[in-house]
Structure 1
Amino acid sequence: MERRYASHPQEVKQFDTARLRKEFHIPTLFTADKLELVLTHEDRLIIGGALPVREEVKLETDLKELGVGFFLERREIGIINVGGTGTVTADGTAYELNHKECLYVGMGTKEVSFTSHDPHNPAKFYLNSAPAHKVFPTVKATLEEADSSALGSFKNSNDRVIYRFIHQNGIQSSQLVMGMTLLKEGSIWNTMPAHTHPRRMEAYMYFDLPEDAVVFHLMGQPSETRHIVMRNEQAVISPSWSIHSGVGTSNYTFIWGMAGDNKKYDDMDPVSMKELQ
């Protein structure tokens, strides 16, 4: 498991492109028959992916890094499948996940594993795990079962649908909040006007991007913005002091995950367009 440390906003002002990418960009989430994990010290969120092709992949890592006997001893995890149909098995109970379906697995679950139904169209399980203080039941949700809302407009290039899976009024968790935003064809902007939420960090994972397309992910303090170029199935860490917005060369989908002081999806501090620099 790779470790990333937290950064101070005054320090980040001095970063060049290579340093920005080293600190915040996660280029590889899916490696055949492996588990990829990145631990950020921003609220101790773990970001990763499991790509079981011909073998079962288990949720395991160097437990000294977490100070526990098993991965979810003091953690919870949200899982969204962005590939073909697969199965997540949690302490012997199998949960089939189709494309863009979500599974929450609660603290105390000792064994979690991932398999694909078809090696020619394998499942791709994107993972967000946060520290937990209370046990909540394991729950699956489809897109139809998620709390959804349409926002934006074609005129403003941000016509989109937001699906909230794990949040205050949805699947219950200790602190993890997780969902997905789908931009419609012809729309390219996400989360603009921008916002921050100093009480929670956030991570984005962009997918459904054509091979030759990119998203320019915007980050930094409102008066000191920077960008990171994102490609398909890559993730980015957003500290609580940073905006997190983006514009693509085509429409795309992204998964957002948050950890921090509360589970309110709409707890944010808006940034006016006049403030951005």
Structure 2
Amino acid sequence: MEIRYTVNQKDIKRYTTEELRSEFLVNGLYEENEVKAVYSHIDRMVTLGCMPTTETVAIDKGIDCWKNFGTHYFLERREIGIFNIGGKGSIEADGVVYEMGYKDCLYITKETKEVLFRSDDAKHPAKFYMVSAPAHRVCKTKFIPIEDAAKRPLGEAKTSNKRTINQFIHPDVLETCQLSMGMTVLESGNVWNSMPCHTHERRMEIYMYFEVPEDHVVFHMMGEPTETRHIIMKNEEAVISPSWGIHCGAGTSDYTFIWAMGGENQAFDDMDNLLQTELK
């Protein structure tokens, strides 16, 4: 598991492109029968990916839980949200099996000792994208298929940001300690996400872009509103957004992304909105 420490907004003004990417970009999440993980000290969030093919893979494969978390197992003091962005598969959580189709989601509560990942077809494997946050109490593990997500249409075609926000791990859908996750789907011909943009000082956020065509990219905007930077994102890459920074983007094609938040407040509209004309 890769460990990344916190950075501040003053330092990144001097960062090169490669330094920005090494601090905030998360890529290479899917290797056969492995768990890839990045532990960010920004709100102690962990971003993970797993692509089982010929094996059943445990969530803590390759992770030293005692060294990294001071726990005996991964979810002893953590909760996690998991999306499948690949072929059909399943997740077994303490003996209960959840069948996971494309874009389905599973929330698993703290104190779940064993989590196992499988694919139905090794040639078309599942790809499990995950974000985990510290948790202080036990909630209820819940499977949320894509059709049961709370739908929130936003934007319009004339501003190139017509999209639907699918709220999965959200107070309107289920109870968690601090983790919130959802999926935003842009309509064909629309390219902007999260615009007008915003910050939220009370929580950080992670975006993971997918359904980005092979020959296209997303220009992800970050940094302070008056000191913006960008990171060019490819398919199935994630980016860490500290609470003090904007997080929005424009693609050379439409795309989908999964957002995850953790911090002081779970209210979806708890944000500090900005006008486009205020950005620099």
Instruction: Give the TM interval when normalised to the shorter protein.
Output: over 0.9
**Cα distance in structure 2, aligned partners of 1:172 and 1:129:** 15
Q: CA deviation at 1:130?
A: 0.2
- Matched letter for residue 111 of structure 1: E
**Cα distance in structure 1, aligned partners of 2:3 and 2:119:** 28
Write the mapping of 1:110-189 to structure 2, written as runs, cut at 5 A. Answer: 110-189=113-192
Partner of residue 195, structure 1: 198
Partner of residue 34, structure 1: 34
Contact 1:158 1:188 in 2 (8 A): yes
- Matched letter for residue 15 of structure 2: F
**Cα distance in structure 2, aligned partners of 1:15 and 1:166:** 34
Write the mapping of 1:83-98 to structure 2, written as runs, cut at 5 A. Answer: 83-98=86-101
Q: CA deviation at 1:180?
A: 0.3
**Cα distance in structure 2, aligned partners of 1:6 and 1:42:** 6
Q: CA deviation at 1:264?
A: 1.0
**Cα distance in structure 2, aligned partners of 1:205 and 1:232:** 9
**Cα distance in structure 2, aligned partners of 1:180 and 1:171:** 16
Partner of residue 64, structure 2: 62
Q: 2:242 is matched with which residue: 234, 239, 250?
A: 239
SS at match of 1:108: coil
SS at match of 1:20: helix
Partner of residue 84, structure 2: 81
Write the mapping of 1:208-223 to structure 2, written as runs, cut at 5 A. Answer: 208-223=211-226
- Matched letter for residue 30 of structure 2: F
Normalising by the residue count of structure 2, what TM-score does the alignment of the two structures yield?
Answer: 0.98
**Cα distance in structure 1, aligned partners of 2:180 and 2:85:** 18
**Cα distance in structure 2, aligned partners of 1:171 and 1:35:** 27
**Cα distance in structure 2, aligned partners of 1:263 and 1:166:** 10
SS at match of 1:173: coil
The count of aligned residue pairs is: 277
Write the mapping of 1:254-273 to structure 2, written as runs, cut at 5 A. Answer: 254-273=257-276
Is residue 207 from structure 1 mapped to residue 210 from structure 2 by the alignment? yes
Q: CA deviation at 1:133?
A: 0.4
SS at match of 2:19: helix
SS at match of 2:277: coil
Structure 2: 5+ residue stretches without partners: none
**Cα distance in structure 2, aligned partners of 1:58 and 1:132:** 20
- Matched letter for residue 238 of structure 1: S
Deviations 1:11-34 (A, max 9, x none): 111111000001000121111111
- Matched letter for residue 26 of structure 1: V
Q: CA deviation at 1:71?
A: 0.3
Q: 1:104 is matched with which residue: 104, 107, 115?
A: 107
- Matched letter for residue 20 of structure 1: L
SS at match of 1:55: coil
Structure 1: 5+ residue stretches without partners: none
- Matched letter for residue 161 of structure 2: N
**Cα distance in structure 1, aligned partners of 2:237 and 2:202:** 24
Q: CA deviation at 1:274?
A: 2.0
Contact 1:104 1:171 in 2 (8 A): no
Deviations 1:126-179 (A, max 9, x none): 000000001011100112211111111111111111000111221211000000
Deviations 1:65-119 (A, max 9, x none): 1110100000000000000111000001000010000000000000001000011
Q: CA deviation at 1:266?
A: 1.4
Structure showing the higher helix proportion among its residues: 2
- Matched letter for residue 271 of structure 1: L
Contact 1:6 1:41 in 2 (8 A): yes
Q: Which moved more, 1:240-249 or 1:54-63?
A: 54-63
**Identity between Structure 1 and Structure 2 (%):** 52
- Matched letter for residue 193 of structure 1: P
**Cα distance in structure 2, aligned partners of 1:169 and 1:210:** 32
- Matched letter for residue 42 of structure 1: I
Q: 1:230 is matched with which residue: 209, 230, 233?
A: 233
**Cα distance in structure 1, aligned partners of 2:143 and 2:188:** 28
